[in-house]
Amino acid sequence: MVMAQTSKEQQQSKLNIKRHRRQIQYFTEDLGNGITLDMVAIPGGTFVMGSPETEEGHRDSESPQHQVTVKSFFMGKYPVTQAQWQAVAALPQVNRELKPNPSYFKKEDRPVDTVSWSDAVEFCERLSQHTKRPYRLPSEAQWEYACRAGTTTPFHFGETITTEFANYNGTDDQHGGWKGSYGNGPSGIYRRETTPVGSFGVGNDFGLYDMHGNVWEWCADHWHDNYEGAPTDGTAWLDEPDSNNENDNKYRVWRGGSCYTLPKNCRSGSRGVFNPGLRDLVGNIGFRVVCAQEWTQ
C-alpha cells in the first residue's frame, strides 16, 4: 500500500533539499565562560559568481557572471551569536567601543543584530588579538562561494525555498505588491523576528547554517554597481587597498537576506548595500567571521 505524503514530506520532495554529505572539518575557539565559536573548513575551488539574467529576482548588480578561484579558509558555522558578541565585546578595545548587548531581538543563541560594519570589524580585531589568529569579515566572493557550496541554483537548498527551512518574509501582500513564494515553492509565514542560529537544522554541503535569511551578513568589500572589473582571486574588492579602517565611510556589501526580506533577496547571488557606520536597520544586520587556513595549523 502506498501511503500519502504529509505536507512536510511533499515540501521536502519539491525542494529536493541538499543536505551535506561530506565529513565536515572544523575547529573551535574558546571565548571563555563556556562560550565557543565553531569554524568550518571551506575547501578551495573555482565557481561562477553572480546570477544568470534568467534567474527570478536577478538584478543588474549580480552581473556579469564571472569565474572566481577561492583559496581554502575557515568560516563561522553560524552567524555570530549574541553570547559570542558579549564575550568578545568584553575584551580590550582595539579601535572603537562596542555596545555589550546591541541586539533588538535579545537571546543568547540568536544572531547578534543591529550592528554596523565598523562594529563587526572591531569584533574581528578583538577576536584576533585574543586568539592570535587573523579573523576578519569574509570577502563577498568568499561568502557566495561558501553559501553555494558547489551549487548553481538560486539557493543552496535547490531551486526554491520555504519558511520551514529558513527565516524570511514568506507571506504574500494582499494587494499584490509582492509575493512570499519563490519559483514553484509555496508561500509561508512571516515571523518578524530572528530565530536561534541553526534552529532549522539544514546546513549546506560545507556544513554552514543560516546562509539564507535570519540576518543580513556584512562582507569586507566596498559596494560596486556590478561585477565589471571584479577580482577573480576571491579577495575583497576594495577601491583603495589600504583603506579598510573605521574612518572609511564608503558603502559596504551585505549578503544573505534577513527575517524581514522576501525570498528573492535571500538568494545565493543576491547583494545588498548599506552605510558602514550606521545601525539604523533594527534587528536586520549581523555577520559571520572567516580565518585563513594557514593560521589555524
Which residues on adjacent β-strands are paired with residue 41? 74
* Residue 244 vs residue 65, higher pLDDT: 65
Listed by start position, the domains of the chain span 24-296
Contact present, 198 and 209 (Cβ < 8 Å):
yes
Element (H, E) at 119: helix 117-131
Beta strands in the chain (DSSP E): 26-32, 35-42, 45-49, 66-70, 73-76, 135-136, 216-222, 252-255, 271-274, 285-286, 290-292
Contact present, 236 and 140 (Cβ < 8 Å):
yes
Task: Give me the pLDDT at residue 164, please.
Answer: 96
Task: Give me the pLDDT at residue 108, please.
Answer: 98
pLDDT band at 229 (very low <50, low <70, confident <90, very high): very high
Does residue 11 surpass a pLDDT of 50?
A: no
Cell numbers placing 248: 572609511
Does residue 17 surpass a pLDDT of 60?
A: no
Domain 24-296 CATH (choose: 3.40.720.10, 3.40.50.1100, 3.90.1580.10, 3.20.20.70): 3.90.1580.10
Which residues on adjacent β-strands are paired with residue 274? 252
Does residue 202 surpass a pLDDT of 60?
A: yes
Task: Give me the pLDDT at residue 253, please.
Answer: 97
Does residue 163 surpass a pLDDT of 50?
A: yes
For strand 216-222 and strand 285-286, is the pairing parallel, antiparallel, or unpaired? parallel
**In this structure, is the dihedral angle defined by the CA atoms of residues 51, 52, 54 and 59, taken in order, positive or negative?**
positive
